Amino acid sequence: MAHPHRHLFVDISSHGFGHLAQTAPVLNRLAELLPALRLTLRTALPPEKLAQRISVPFELIAAASDFGYRMIDALTIDGSATAAAYRAAHAPRRKYPWGTDFSRNVERDAQLLQELRADAVFANVSYLPLAGAARAGIPAVAMCSLNWADLFAHFFGREPWASAIHAEMLAAYRSATFLRTTPGMPMTGLDRVVGIGPIATIGRERRGELHRKLGVGTARIVLVALGGIPTRLPVEDWPARANTHWLVPAAWQVARPDMSAFEPLGWPFADLLASSDAVVTKPGYGTFAEAACNGTAVLYQRRGDWPEQDCLIEWLHANARAVEIGGDALRSGALGAALDEVIGAAVPPVPAPEGIEQAAQFLAALLK
């Protein structure tokens, strides 16, 4: 007899907060569809970040199974460090003549999944647990707007050492069904790709409350949020703008009357977004999708060389008020004209985050 308490093993990449922003609403909805669901999460993200977004109980394995990309800051990849990390993760085994370090880790994951008695695996977007699930004979689903194999091919595909690593990555992704979010990269190299709609948390619009809390009258509120990879902008040198109040990360420790840290407010990020006039950010799925679905205007600076950003930017311009700014403007705070333009633009119809229900129903059917 099948055990009524289905057990889902969920692996969330710690490369920024976007993977959590995609995964959490799906888990929250899935728990409504399957009330007896047992969740085990593996991620290296801070537990308080998980608690802010995941509203259902879970057991936590505090570990990272992928690193995605080594970053210098939110906009800059450390190519040599990333190459070294991939080569180490997939190195030929020293002690035995067969296999690689990756194949040993696949065996470990397969063993872990069997010990946990997982009924299915859900990964965003590490390929190791997908390979482990295939080895253990457990169904697996990946979900994301990108996959590490396509990014690896983009950055390292011409290197003589890359083809064997890329083959291991692709085999892992091809062993699972891949739910490709909207927006998302083409993923033509994968076998079982299922397109789903956007995923975003809809926040409560609490503009009046935010103005009162900050004591800023009717000033425009502009959220500065560059995602989960620490990056410091020299905001204390930005020119003060009449009728504009900036919300910035607490870690920046800014002391200016027209700037406040947003974390001490204790609000969900989606509520902050929905209550702000605009957000200043970089191309990333979480902030772009949530800004569009909450009707918030966006100023963004492109990332140097990040293949996922083109599909994100194209979708954002079709679904939200958005203006691109240059790096110099962002560093110097010369954002006045761009803010006036983007906030004054006509608001397009707000996209519905249909991917949440689609992904949750797909997982529920698999677990039933």
Q: Are residues 11 and 148 in the same domain?
A: yes
Q: Are residues 246 and 363 in the same domain?
A: no
Q: Are residues 220 and 295 in the same domain?
A: yes
Lowest mean pLDDT among 58-62, 217-221, 229-233, 250-254: 229-233
Q: Are residues 126 and 153 in the same domain?
A: yes
pLDDT for 307 beyond 50: yes
Residue type, 231: T
> Rounded to a whole number, what is the distance in angstroms from the first to the last CA of the chain?
13
Q: How far apart are CA 194 and CA 180, in angstroms?
A: 6
Q: How far is CA 337 from CA 244, 323, 325, 342, 344, in A?
A: 13, 10, 10, 9, 11
- Within 13 A of 223's CA, how many CA atoms are on the CB side? 29
206-240 tens-digit pLDDT: 999 999 999 999 999 999 999 877 789 999 999 99
**Residues spanned by the domain of 305:** 207-344
Q: Are residues 120 and 211 in the same domain?
A: no
Q: Are residues 126 and 158 in the same domain?
A: yes
How many domains does the structure of the chain reveal?
A: 2
Q: Are residues 167 and 230 in the same domain?
A: no
CA dihedral 331, 334, 337, 338 (to 10 degrees): 0
pLDDT for 149 beyond 80: yes
Q: Are residues 148 and 123 in the same domain?
A: yes
Domain membership of residue 2 (yes or no) is: no
Domain membership of residue 42 (yes or no) is: yes
Q: Are residues 291 and 187 in the same domain?
A: no
Domain membership of residue 283 (yes or no) is: yes
Q: Are residues 225 and 78 in the same domain?
A: no
Q: Are residues 130 and 279 in the same domain?
A: no
Domain membership of residue 229 (yes or no) is: yes
Q: Are residues 330 and 361 in the same domain?
A: no
Domain containing residue 32: CATH number? 3.40.50.2000
Q: How far is CA 95 from CA 86, 100, 259, 277, 353, in A?
A: 19, 10, 57, 59, 49
pTM: 0.95
| Average pLDDT of the segment spanning 46-56 | 95
